[in-house]
């Protein structure tokens, strides 16, 4: 934790340089000082990122020792009945004293007898700081000049960067707009700046809501810009906004900001549909970058490869302490023993288990990763699915990734349709199986299609049978009925997320559930059904 004192010392050494600008004319002084401050800030961040990169390389080369240190750090503040663990250094003893627990897989479950990982809107620890510093440098390398002064805007109250930065962040223009208390004011400020090169949002779901809302309130926003809120009146910019909106959603972001290069959001569970919709429509033609994969227990993966189209994440050996629970098809996960990072095998799938010093619980997140490479001794992973999001009315066990793939193929055969969001519920939860075999009730929010024909609806069931031989066998025997697809109106899933956010256990980043275990959420969507 000597990083920030060293940065402060470096800043103090560089401050005399800024005083030289006081001898210049006032207008030139502001421009010169601003440019100098930006260069100094980048120098500080570059030095800090190089230091973090060196630390990361060292700990990933000696991952066993690094994980032992992380474990001691987690146990250092053990309290209550766990005080006896403070001196523990042996992983086997640690595992015997702390049995695995399951985290709630959806906020709807509240905390009914289940242990939840700590929820926080600000991530802590070395991994969060590493993800931010290394991500910024990697992003600037992949998109030179994209992070110049005034080129970046965040349109949500939460940032995609896991760890907040002090002075350097403000100097580089990454601070929140003064007085901004809602996403609307942040969006208004961003729309006044046609030269943006980087667009940021907390998550892809939040950014999708921003674009959907802009289509509804576009004329009102343009009026505010023309009238001078906030700042000077910009009637020309307001006219550009209305013209861009009038051409539809496809490529809207590049019409609003012609210099835009990349969209930055924080990756978390349930974001895939929103990210795909943004890439296909509003943000078409833009690169996407997530600096980290985050769960409610903290940052669990660092993205060091911004050029990759799909997120690849390095699992670091620091805190939170990470274990891997093997996932084998046909075998119960509970029967397996956890592994340390150095024991991961390429091509295998594992469920993540986190332990941090806040809750001191060995918490099974339900997030499943596939190891696609090795960096030094640490695994590089791609997130595939969440175990708690599987559908099973007769033991067929259709996972989140399998269902999403089948739904994507079905929507691809619906003329003009683009999938924005979806959710599922087993018929027994809605009591909708009376007089019929148990089945899935599926709610979809679409763009480009206002009505679903029976032929459209049948395509999902056919693709599910193609994806799962077990499901197909049950359908042929009549033990499972055909999936029933409902089209909901625009705003349905935004209302659902608002309902989820009121839960006391709602995590951050928000993890969008795809399978509802309690009927009241599905009933909320039922009220939005239009077809």
Q: Return d(Cα 90, Cα 94) in angstroms, integer.
A: 6
pLDDT digits (tens, 9 = 90+) for 251-274: 999 999 999 999 999 988 888 889
Any residues with CB less than 8 A from the CB of 206 and at least 6 apart, and which? 156, 158, 183, 265, 510
What average pLDDT does the chain have?
Answer: 83
- Does a cis peptide bond (omega within 30 degrees of 0) precede residue 198? no
Give pLDDT, residue 296: 67
pLDDT digits (tens, 9 = 90+) for 356-370: 766 567 889 889 999
Q: Are 442 and 484 in contact (CB under 8 A)?
A: yes
Give pLDDT, residue 33: 65
Please tell me which of 67-81, 229-243, 330-344 the model is most confident about, judged by mean pLDDT. Answer: 229-243
Residue 105 has pLDDT above 60, yes or no: no
pLDDT digits (tens, 9 = 90+) for 81-104: 555 565 666 777 788 778 888 865
Q: What is the mean pLDDT of residues 295-319?
A: 84
Half-sphere exposure in the Cβ direction for 361 (13 Å, CA): 14
How remote is the C-alpha of 172 from its chain's centroid? 24
pLDDT digits (tens, 9 = 90+) for 197-209: 999 999 999 999 9
pLDDT digits (tens, 9 = 90+) for 432-483: 666 689 999 999 999 999 899 999 999 999 999 999 999 999 999 999 999 9
Backbone CA torsion sign across 249, 454, 405, 322: positive
Side by side, which strands form the sheet with 198-200? Answer: 152-154, 198-200, 262-264, 287-289
Residue 338 has pLDDT above 70, yes or no: yes
Percent of the chain with pLDDT over 90: 52
Please tell me which of 101-115, 158-172, 326-340, 398-412 the model is most confident about, judged by mean pLDDT. Answer: 398-412
Strand partners, 294: 299
Residue 246 has pLDDT above 90, yes or no: yes
- At 528 the three-state DSSP class reads coil
- Give the residue ranges of DSSP H helices in 228-271: 235-246, 252-256
Q: Are 470 and 402 in contact (CB under 8 A)?
A: no
Q: What is the mean pLDDT of residues 505-530?
A: 83
Any residues with CB less than 8 A from the CB of 87 and at least 6 apart, and which? none
Give the CA distances from residue 519 to residues 389, 404, 430, in Å, rounded to whole numbers and listed in that order: 15, 21, 6
Give pLDDT, residue 34: 64
Give pLDDT, residue 229: 76
Give pLDDT, residue 89: 65
Residue 369: closest CA among 357, 386, 354, 356: 386
Q: Are 67 and 30 in contact (CB under 8 A)?
A: no
DSSP 289-308: E-SEEEETTEEEEE---TTS
pLDDT digits (tens, 9 = 90+) for 367-397: 999 999 999 999 999 999 988 889 999 999 9
**What does the block give as tokens for 247?**
């051409």
pLDDT digits (tens, 9 = 90+) for 185-235: 899 999 999 999 999 999 999 999 999 999 999 999 999 999 987 788 999
Which position has the higher pLDDT, 149 or 481?
481
The values of phi and psi at residue 479, to 5°, are -75, -25
- Does a cis peptide bond (omega within 30 degrees of 0) precede residue 242? no
Residue 242 has pLDDT above 50, yes or no: yes
């Amino acid at each position: 934790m000597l990083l920030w004192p060293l940065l402060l010392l470096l800043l103090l050494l560089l401050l005399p340089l800024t005083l030289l600008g006081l001898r210049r004319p006032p207008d030139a002084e502001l421009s010169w000082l601003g440019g100098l401050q930006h260069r100094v800030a980048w120098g500080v961040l570059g030095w800090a990122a190089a230091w973090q990169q060196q630390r990361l390389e060292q700990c990933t080369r000696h991952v066993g020792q690094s994980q032992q240190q992380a474990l001691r750090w987690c146990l250092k503040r053990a309290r209550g009945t766990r005080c006896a663990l403070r001196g523990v250094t042996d992983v086997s003893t640690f595992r015997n004293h702390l049995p695995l627990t399951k985290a709630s897989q959806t906020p709807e479950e509240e905390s009914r007898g289940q242990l939840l990982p700590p929820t926080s809107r600000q991530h802590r620890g070395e991994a969060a700081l590493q993800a931010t510093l290394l991500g910024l440098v990697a992003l600037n390398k992949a998109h030179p000049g994209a992070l110049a002064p005034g080129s970046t805007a965040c349109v949500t109250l939460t940032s995609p960067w896991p760890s907040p930065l002090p002075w350097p962040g403000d100097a580089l223009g990454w601070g929140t707009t003064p007085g901004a208390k809602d996403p609307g004011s942040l969006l208004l400020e961003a729309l006044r700046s046609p030269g943006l090169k980087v667009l940021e949002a907390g998550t892809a779901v939040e950014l999708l809501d921003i674009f959907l809302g802009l289509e509804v309130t576009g004329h009102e926003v343009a009026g505010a810009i023309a009238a001078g809120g906030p700042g000077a009146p910009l009637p020309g910019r307001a006219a550009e906004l209305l013209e861009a909106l009038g051409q539809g959603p496809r490529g809207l972001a590049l019409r609003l900001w012609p210099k835009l290069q990349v969209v930055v959001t924080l990756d978390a569970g349930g974001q895939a549909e929103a990210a795909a919709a943004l890439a296909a429509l509003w943000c078409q033609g833009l690169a996407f970058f997530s600096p980290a994969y985050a769960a409610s227990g903290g940052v669990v993966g660092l993205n060091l490869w911004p050029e990759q189209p799909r997120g690849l994440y390095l699992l670091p050996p620091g805190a939170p302490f990470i274990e891997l629970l093997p996932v084998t098809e046909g075998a119960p996960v509970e029967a397996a023993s956890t592994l340390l990072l150095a024991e991961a095998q390429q091509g295998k799938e594992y469920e993540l288990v986190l332990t941090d010093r806040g809750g001191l619980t060995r918490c099974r997140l339900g997030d499943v990763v596939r190891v696609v490479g090795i960096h030094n001794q640490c695994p590089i992973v791609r997130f595939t699915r969440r175990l708690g999001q599987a559908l099973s009315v007769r033991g067929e066990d259709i996972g989140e990734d399998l269902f999403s793939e089948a739904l994507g193929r079905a929507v691809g055969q619906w003329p003009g349709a683009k999938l924005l969001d979806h959710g599922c519920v087993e018929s027994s939860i809605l009591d909708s199986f009376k007089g019929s075999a148990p089945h899935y009730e599926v709610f979809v929010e679409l763009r480009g299609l206002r009505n679903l024909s029976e032929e459209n609806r049948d395509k999902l069931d056919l693709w599910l049978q193609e994806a799962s031989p077990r499901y197909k066998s049950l359908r042929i025997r009549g033990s499972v009925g055909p999936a029933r697809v409902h089209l909901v109106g625009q705003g349905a899933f935004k209302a659902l997320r608002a309902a989820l956010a009121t839960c006391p256990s709602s995590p951050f980043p928000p993890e969008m559930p795809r399978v509802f275990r309690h009927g009241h959420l599905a009933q909320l969507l039922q009220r939005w059904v239009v077809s």
